[in-house]
Each structure stands twice: as structure tokens, then as C-alpha cells.
Structure 1
Amino acid sequence: MVGMKWSAAPWGMALALVTVTAAAAPAAAHGQASDRARPAQRIVLANADTGRSVTARLGDDVEVRLTGHREHGLTYTWSTPASSNSTVLRRTAGGTSPSGDASAVFHAEHRGTATITAVRRCRPAPGHLCPLVVLPWKATVEVQ
């Protein structure tokens, strides 16, 4: 931090402009903010991210947004995403919609690895038949 300070000579006859410089904190001066000083991040995963592995840090949120779809009298709906290890990744919000969409937010609580999973199933309209196919979705999250 740079500031200006006026200084008078001991006998009060002349004034001098003195520049005062304060030293910055060592970590901030070198661009090395600690993990605690880093703001939490939000990692967003979608349908196309199945099979993906991501790294999160303590305090980060992982949001999963899965989109269902309808075609020919069939609605393909997702289950609410779940964590394999709630000690590592705790779900703080989650749910499904009538259109088949599902979402959830997970908070990185402890170091470790957890898998987020969901399943897409077919829901037939009256007079239609669904194929007997279940589509799994998963992502692996390593919390550091």
C-alpha cells in the first residue's frame, strides 16, 4: 500500500513530501492465496458429462443438471442425483420435474472421492410402450 505523509523539519521551517510504502502479505504478494482465502467454486455437470472425473476443493459446490426429454408418447426421466459418500459430498438440494429433468447440488465437506449417480428411465403415456432400457449417469469427484 502506498500513502503520502507530510513531514516537517524539526525547527518547523520546511515541509517535505515523504512516500510511505507498506509491505503486502507474503502470500498475496506472490499470488499464492491460501485455500481458505479462495472463494468457493461451483462445478456444473450435465447429461454429456457422464463418465467424467472432476476435482473439487473443500467448500466447493458440484451442481448436476440432467435434462429429460419426450418423444413419441414416451418421457425419459432422471432420478435425483445421489452421492456415494455423503461424508465427502453432501447433497444440499435436489429434485426432479414433471418434464423428466433432475438436479442436485453437492457440497464438498471432506477430502476423499465420491461418485454421483442418477438413472434415466422411460415413462410411457397411455397406449405407449417403453423399451426396457435404463441409462445410468455417473461422475467421479475427488475432493482435495
Structure 2
Amino acid sequence: MKAAKYATGLMLGLAVTATMVTTTASAAPHSALADHLVLTNSDDGRSVVRSVGEDSEVRLTAYRERGLTYTWSMPTATNARVLGRTVGGTRPAGDAYAVLHADSPGTSTVSAVRQCHADPGHVCPRAIAPWKATIEVR
């Protein structure tokens, strides 16, 4: 008799847990993911159109070759009224990132700079490499 009550209670508990997991997983709207744009190293020079309220993320990846490390500055927007940075920074390996929120209609250029850092016994080229993307918010 106790075994039957235990089994019934266990089954009821599993059913409630499964319902909670299903409800929690489907609570986030799919459109929140669709409104998120990610720009990377290969998007240099790209122009995109976004809507007010959408986020754009910039992820720039550093790299090493032949004793040289190429790192990025934190991406910035030229017009903070159009694109407000909600998160941004650099990582120890030289990667940089920013999340920009489309606050109002207009156009803003997002830019960052790649710089060289040489290991001992190596020499960096004297050039810096700018990265930029233009975001028009409607």
C-alpha cells in the first residue's frame, strides 16, 4: 500500500516538474532572439538597418601570428542618442565586444581599432587597422 502511494506521488511530482520546465522554456518569445544582430571581424564596412528597440552586438576576435598579437579596442558608436551601448569591453586575449541598443531613429557608425603587440624579438607593422559598420535605425 505504501509503495503504491509513493509511486503515485512520484508520478505526480514528475508531471508537475515536466509542466514547469515546459512552461519556463517557452516563456521567452522567439522574436527576442530574431531581433538580435551579431557583427564580427568579417562585417567591416557593412551597413545594416535596424528598428528602434533592437539590439546589435559587435564581437571582434583578436588573433596571433608569427610572434604578433592583434588586439581590438572596445567598439563605440558615433551617435549615442541613436545607438546606446548597454555592455562593452575587451578581454585579456584582445577580443572586444559591445551590445548597442537602437534607442531612436537615425544613423550611427560603430568603430573599433585593431592594434599590433609584438613578442620580444618581433616588430609590429606601423599601421593600425580600423573596423567600422554603419547602422541605420528606423
TM range (shorter): 0.7 to 0.9
RMSD, aligned α-carbons: 1.3
Cα deviation 1:74-133 (Å, max 9, x = unaligned): 100010000000000001111111222111100000000000000001011122210111
Q: Which residue of 1 aligns with 2:88?
A: 94
With normalisation by structure 1, the TM-score equals: 0.71
- Identity %, equivalent residues: 57
Secondary structure of the structure 1 residue equivalent to 2:100:
strand
Secondary structure of the structure 2 residue equivalent to 1:130:
coil
Which stretches of structure 1, 4 residues or longer, exceed 6 Å deviation after superposition? none
Q: How does 1:98-117 map to 2 (within 5 A)?
A: 98-117=92-111
Structure with bigger strand share is 1
**Highest relative contact order (Cα 8 Å, sep 6+), 1 or 2?**
2
Q: Which residue of 1 aligns with 2:38?
A: 44
Q: How many residues align?
A: 107
Q: Quick check: which has more Rg, 1 or 2? A: 1
With normalisation by structure 2, the TM-score equals: 0.74
Unaligned 5+ segments in structure 1 are 1-37
Unaligned 5+ segments in structure 2 are 1-29
Structure with bigger helix share is 2
Secondary structure of the structure 2 residue equivalent to 1:131:
coil
For 1:39 and 1:85, the matched residues in 2 are separated by 26
